[in-house]
């Protein structure tokens, strides 16, 4: 809860830039829903990918919280540097910010794997073909004689747990320190295994707020995305000792 409170405090310190992230994702979510509202598998794929790669999309929120912590200026230039300049400095740092991109691609592959597995399960066990969201609700969610929905939720939880454990502090760590993707993932797993109950609660809060944001016609994401993004930075700072890891400078600070 302290992480959420600190995340909200960061949001209040830079409300326009923070809420801009949430507004962008809300518009994006509404757009993909408008395109795929009557095509269940396309909609499921979009939303699954949206949730899994959210830690990547929040990268500039981590950068904002990092700058606030250091007393640095938080402005639009910081966001531009976060998404562009650091990636282009490979001559000075061969493994530089591209580690974030590689990790994002891995998360995208995880989302694709879930959609394929989910499609195979439902296709095999559903009493009739699923084409629209209404079909899914009628034949899977509300079916009294078929345990498919419970199995589907259980399988989703089994696949989501290792993704969460691999990513919960990985993105802020990759942003903040010069580490490899493997180091970041192992550090994230260590944080989860060392503090299982708080991390389980954190996962529940992230999922709960995300669902609330999506089912509020994405409007809730305007506030929820920056709050969770900034909060995730503070989770990383409280969980990971980085005193022995080399700092990754900002685009302007690199030599």
- Span of 107-116, 161-170, 196-205 with lowest mean pLDDT: 107-116
Tell me if 103 sits within 8 A of 170, measured CB to CB: yes
Q: What is the pLDDT of residue 254?
A: 44
Question: pLDDT per residue over 2-45, tens digit each?
Answer: 999 999 999 999 999 999 999 998 998 888 888 777 888 777 77
Q: CA 98, CA 104: separation in Å to the nearest integer?
A: 10
pLDDT at 93 over 60: no
Supply the angle between the helices 221-239 and 59-70 in degrees, to the nearest 10.
60
The DSSP result for 136-199, as a single string, is HIIIIIS-SS-THHHHHHHHHHHHHHHHHHHHTTHHHHHHHB---HHHHHHHHHHHHHHSHHHH
Read off φ and ψ for residue 95, nearest 5 degrees: -105, 20
With a cut of 90, say whether residue 126 has pLDDT above it. Answer: no
Contact 221, 213 (CB under 8 A): yes
Per-residue confidence band for 253, with pLDDT thresholds at 50, 70 and 90? very low
Confidence of residue 252 (pLDDT cuts 50, 70, 90): very low
Residue that is written with structure tokens 């005193």 in the block: 243
pLDDT of 109 over the 50 cut: yes
Beta carbons of 207 and 3 less than 8 angstroms apart: no
Helices and strands (H, E) in the chain, number of each type: 13, 0
Q: Where are the domains of the chain?
A: 2-239
Closest of 107, 226, 228, 223 to residue 170, by C-alpha: 107
């Amino acid at each position: 809860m302290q992480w959420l409170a600190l995340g909200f405090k960061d949001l209040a310190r830079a409300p326009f830039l923070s809420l801009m992230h949430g507004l962008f994702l809300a518009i994006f979510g509404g757009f993909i829903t408008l395109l795929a509202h009557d095509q269940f598998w396309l909609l499921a794929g979009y939303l699954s990918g949206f949730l899994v790669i959210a830690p990547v999309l929040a990268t500039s929120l981590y950068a904002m919280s990092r700058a606030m912590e250091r007393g640095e200026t938080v402005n639009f230039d910081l966001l531009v540097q976060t998404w562009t300049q650091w990636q282009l400095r490979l001559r000075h740092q061969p493994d530089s910010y591209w580690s974030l991109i590689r990790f994002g691609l891995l998360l995208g592959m995880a989302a694709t794997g879930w959609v394929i597995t989910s499609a195979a399960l439902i296709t095999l066990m559903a009493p009739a073909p699923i084409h629209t969201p209404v079909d899914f609700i009628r034949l899977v969610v509300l079916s009294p004689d078929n345990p498919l929905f419970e199995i589907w939720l259980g399988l989703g939880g089994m696949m989501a747990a290792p993704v969460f454990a691999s990513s919960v502090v990985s993105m802020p760590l990759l942003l903040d320190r010069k580490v490899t993707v493997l180091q970041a993932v192992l550090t994230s797993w260590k944080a989860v295994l060392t503090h299982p109950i708080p991390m389980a609660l954190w996962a529940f809060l992230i999922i709960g707020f995300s669902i609330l944001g999506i089912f509020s016609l994405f409007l809730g994401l305007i506030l929820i995305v920056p709050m969770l993004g900034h909060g995730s930075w503070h989770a990383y700072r409280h969980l990971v000792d980085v005193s022995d890891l080399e700092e990754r400078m900002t685009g302007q600070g690199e030599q």
